[in-house]
Amino acid sequence: MTRTVSVAALQTAYGPDMAANIAKTEALVREAAAKGAQIILPSELFQGEYFCVSQEERWFATAFPWRTHPCVLAMQKLAAELNVVIPTSIYEKEGPHYFNSLVMIDAGGELLGVYRKSHIPDGPGYQEKYYFRPGDTGFKVWDTQFARIGVGICWDQWYPEAARAMALLGAEILFYPTAIGSEPHDAELDTAAPWQRVMQGHAVANVIPVVASNRIGTESLISPQNGCGQTFYGHSFIANHRGDKVEEYGKGEEGVLVAEFDLDYLNTHRAAWGFFRDRRTDLYGALASPRPVA
């Protein structure tokens, strides 16, 4: 029997109220599930507005332990009800440490574990190193009920070694929750196209589908560099193993993107390309070493 999987990317705007953001995400997850999606990706840090535009102590109070984070508890209940997988991005607090994290919630609601963002940006409008410690989990993949998947968080998407590491660990699909948009230091700079292209490259180099979810809208939090809120450019998309965009939104559309993939075909096609047959373990070292998925 052929193994197929249906995946979804969510694209919407978020505001300052966590409960309202959770409710909006829940509605979109339900819409995606109604369209047949089995693995459904919300965007990065959907718990609130993207607060890393500046450095303010008050945002540390919005982090929670990953097992009891309000977004995790809400998505866990939804995953159990709808029997879908929901990779859930959160602001995590573990003891004195703070992380930009992803909790993998399997169909049925089981928490499979946490991935902590490895690459942390630090620049105008994206001052994440003030808030987040570099991740300590390494790159991870999870055996969900529908596919073995890997997830990178936002800035991770610019690094080909992150995608390759997850592919070497056996990922069949890569997911990237994101919050990216305007660059306060340069109003003329629009990175939407290269943002897509780098992930399309991951798809080609690893013969693997890629799913990217970004937010939209101009938010109320003020960036000191330009005196106004950050505007997020959307352009969420799903690419196939050739890097072709099979589903895509523009900069202001809201909703769900859904696509289906034949995993058996992709596994055979990936083997035929030989990218992993000829890999150099002496060059990749620990990056390519299997590790527990929980």
Which residues have a catalytic role annotated?
44, 117, 154
Q: Which residue, among 141, 212, 138, 142, has the nearest Cα to 177 in the 3D structure?
A: 212
d(CA 128, CA 236) in angstroms, rounded, equals 22
Side chain identity at residue 54, one-letter code = S
Buried b (16+ CB within 10 A) or exposed e, 99-114: bbbbbbbbbebebbbb
Q: For 116-180, what is the HEC assignment?
A: ECCCCCEECCEEHHHCCCCCCCCCCEEECCCCEEEECCHHHHHCHHHHHHHHHCCCCEEEEECCC
Residue showing tokens 């620990």:
286
Closest by Cα among 250, 214, 234 to 45: 214
Question: From CA 64, how far away is CA 77, in angstroms rounded?
Answer: 18
Closest CA to 84 of 137, 147, 40: 40
- CA–CA gap between residue 72 and residue 104 (Å, rounded): 9
In degrees and rounded to multiples of 5, residue 8 shows phi and psi of -140, 145
N- to C-terminal Cα separation, the chain: 27
